[in-house]
Amino acid sequence: MSRYIARVKLSVIVPFYNVQTYAPDALRSLQANTRDDFEFILVDDCSTDATPEILERGARDIPGARLIRHERNGGIAKARNTGIDASEGEYLAFLDGDDWTAPGHFERLLTATERLGCDFVRNDHVQSTGSARTIHRVPVARRGEVLRPRDAILPANRSTSVDYPFPCAGLYHRRLVDRGLLHFQEELRTAEDRLWIWRLHRKAESFAAISELGIFYRRGIPTSLTQVGDGRQLDFAVAYDLILKETAEDPDAAQLLPKVVRTYCAMISHHLARVENLEPAVARKLRSTSAAALKRMPQDVLREVLAGMDSERATRLRRLRRRPSAGGSTGPTGEVAA
């Protein structure tokens, strides 16, 4: 038996890939969060810049840090899963290698979670875009109260907990790992957190939202997957096809499907509005993939959703729906309000 199992209270999983500019900030913030029963699992996803050397120093200097290296790049979902599989804590948390935390953040989060005794806790975060700072709140009005996760999925026409997919904004009990709810779908290069948050809210038993601002999330940096213009952006369709399929098999499918369809349509509209940022071949595939996705949705639900959307988005989607499509689908992670 590992010597860590009895004593590790919290495992913090941090994937890194070519973030030499930002990794020092992340590591310094971990150093300001150490505790005797905390471990920090640093996962280098086969970086090709100076990130590996920075992580070697961090693993030596930060108490409780462990460094794991991938032999080949597998993406953020696989890197997080590597950390989950290596973790030994009773609770787990995530941080991305280009973000950072406030001193003592994880201890405050752990204290709140243990007091509440629920499966997972979600917290607010600060978005950092250049020198600008913006607070983003968990879209849950009742704070510090244990709630049923599936009750926080609806209503369909407002931003809810499933529209706040950030894994780093929360703390999770190990029983979620044992139930198969904390791992990420590795074939998804983007939107992996969208499928993850839907599964968590449909299948976990309890959660709470708390007003803890300790995560600083960098937005708009060149290394972010939200900035790339290649085919990885189209993974949102794969993610939402899976969400749609799994929700259709849920006992509450009739109530939940309008939320899935509305959010899927919002994602399609969001990507179409940014189509000029995509490579030309990817832009063409986005249109055909999105047209095929609209045809796969339950058509009665889709008609109802389009009738309730603003005219600009509804017109764009209806036009796309009439477009001939080759079928198939190939997901970004930023907040997109339905």
The stretches of the chain forming alpha helices (DSSP H) are 23-31, 51-61, 76-86, 105-116, 175-178, 192-203, 235-248, 253-273, 280-296, 299-308, 311-321
Query: For 70-87, what is each residue's pLDDT tens digit?
Result: 999 999 999 999 999 999
Query: For 167-211, what is each residue's pLDDT tens digit?
Result: 999 999 999 999 999 999 999 999 999 999 999 999 999 999 999
| 8 A C-beta contact, residue 170 and residue 10 | no
Query: For 90-126, what is each residue's pLDDT tens digit?
Result: 999 999 999 999 999 999 999 999 999 999 999 999 9
Structure pTM? Answer: 0.90
What pLDDT sits at residue 273? 86
Scanning the structure block, which residue is given the tokens 């007091």?
115
Class of CATH domain 10-225: alpha beta
Cis-peptide into 258, omega within 30 deg: no
Q: Of 196, 193, 169, nearest to 181 (Cα)?
A: 196
Could you state, in order of their start, the residue ranges of all structural domains in the chain? Answer: 10-225, 228-321
